[in-house]
Amino acid sequence: MADTPTVPAHLTGAVVRGAGRGRGLGFPTANIAADPGSRIPPPAIYSGWVVRHSTGVVHRGTISIGSNPTFCDTAEVHVEVYCHDTSDEFYGERVGLWFVARIRDTVKFASSGDLVRAARRDVLRSEALLASGHGRRVLGGALAAHRKPASV
Ligand SMILES: Cc1cc2nc3c(=O)[nH]c(=O)nc-3n(C[C@H](O)[C@H](O)[C@H](O)COP(=O)(O)O)c2cc1C
Q: Tell me how far the alpha carbon of residue 146 lies from the centroid of ligand 1, in angstroms.
A: 28
Taken in order of first residue, the domains within the chain and their CATH numbers are 10-145 (2.40.30.30)
Residues 6 or more apart in contact with residue 41 via CB below 8 angstroms: 5, 6, 8, 11, 65, 99, 102
pLDDT reported for residue 152: 44
Regions of the chain short of the pLDDT cut 50:
1, 6-7, 152
pLDDT tens for residues 118-131?
Answer: 999 999 999 999 99
pLDDT tens for residues 129-141?
Answer: 999 999 999 999 9
Q: Tell me how far the alpha carbon of residue 77 lies from the centroid of ligand 1, in angstroms.
A: 11
pLDDT reported for residue 146: 87
As a whole number of angstroms, the distance between CA 49 and CA 81 comes to 9
Q: Tell me how far the alpha carbon of residue 79 lies from the centroid of ligand 1, in angstroms.
A: 10
pLDDT reported for residue 2: 52
